[in-house]
Amino acid sequence: MTNPAIPRYVALIPAAGVGARMAAGSPKQYLPINGKPMLRHTIDAFLSSPLIAHTYVVVSEDDPYIDALLPADGVTVLRCGGASRMESIRNGLRRLDGQLAEDDWVLVHDAARPGLNAGLIARLVEETGAHPVGGLLALPVVDTVKKRSGDGLATVPREGLWLAQTPQMFRKALLVRALDAATDPERITDDASAVEALGLAPKLVEGHPCNLKVTLPADIRIAEIYLAASRND
């Protein structure tokens, strides 16, 4: 057991999805970006942060790819992925009962956000601080937003609108409670929405466009540009 008086920061990466919209021959988290599997970029971001005590990756029970890309240490694979992102995270947290303290902070991060870096992790941790709920990286909406309804079109005021990113950081006990209370995985599109359903408000911490989620084939090229630029900084 860990010392509950000294909360740790751990990463939890759900990586059991199939990435259907990518229309690739393998799950999108294993597609190469600048010569390295997308998921390995994501893992390496957490390994590069001195704030992260350990990184856990949740994959499906029969995942044939994960072992080939793991680093020598610092990462544990949990073969308990579920049918949805929410289920994979819930299963992973259950598997970690007894290994994490209730007050440990869990940073849940999408496997398909390979542009994360140690600086963004530090910003999330430092700006969230001891917030009673937790926090998440997000970007304020700067474009004009349109909403289509039937044949009509309306402009939606963008003031106060943010685009959620990950990591999303919550204490282990709160995250478990929020996910266990969520009965409809289709309505829980991220961890923050499960926490919000409890009537709580996480803190928004400004992220960066480099931390985009790779969803469509064109996103790979954008991610490659950001990752190449970060190597040259």
Residue 162 inside a domain? The answer is: yes
Residue 59 inside a domain? The answer is: yes
Using DSSP, how many helices (H) and how many strands (E) does the chain show? 7, 11
Whether residue 110 has pLDDT greater than 90: yes
- What is the value of pTM for the model shown? 0.93
pLDDT of res. 165? 98
- How far apart are the C-alpha atoms of 142 and 224, rounded to whole Å? 23
Q: How many CB atoms lie within 10 A of CB 8?
A: 17
**What would the pLDDT profile of 14-58 be if each residue is shown by its tens digit?**
999 765 445 455 789 999 999 999 999 999 999 999 999 999 999
Residue 107 inside a domain? The answer is: yes
List the CATH number of the domain containing 101. Answer: 3.90.550.10
The count of domains in the chain is: 1
pLDDT of res. 95? 97
Q: What is the band of 11 on the pLDDT scale with cuts at 50, 70, 90?
A: very high
Calculate the alpha carbon distances from 54 to 49, 151, 159, 213, 224 in Å.
Answer: 10, 51, 37, 23, 26
**What would the pLDDT profile of 125-183 be if each residue is shown by its tens digit?**
999 999 999 999 999 999 999 999 888 999 999 999 999 999 999 999 999 999 999 97
Residue 3 inside a domain? The answer is: no
Whether residue 220 has pLDDT greater than 60: yes
pLDDT of res. 77? 97
pLDDT of res. 20? 47
The continuous run of DSSP H or E covering 231 comes out as helix 217-232
Residue 154 inside a domain? The answer is: yes
What six digits make up the tokens of 206?
């400004």
Residue 2 inside a domain? The answer is: no
- 111-131 burial by CB neighbour count: b if 16+ within 10 A, else e? bbbbbbbbebbebbbeebeee
Structural domain of residue 55, as residue ranges?
Answer: 9-232
Q: What is the band of 69 on the pLDDT scale with cuts at 50, 70, 90?
A: very high
**What would the pLDDT profile of 184-204 be if each residue is shown by its tens digit?**
777 888 999 999 999 999 999
Q: How many CB atoms lie within 10 A of CB 174?
A: 22
What six digits make up the tokens of 120?
């963004």
Residue 4 inside a domain? The answer is: no
Residue 95 inside a domain? The answer is: yes
Nearest to 41 by CA among 134, 144, 112: 112
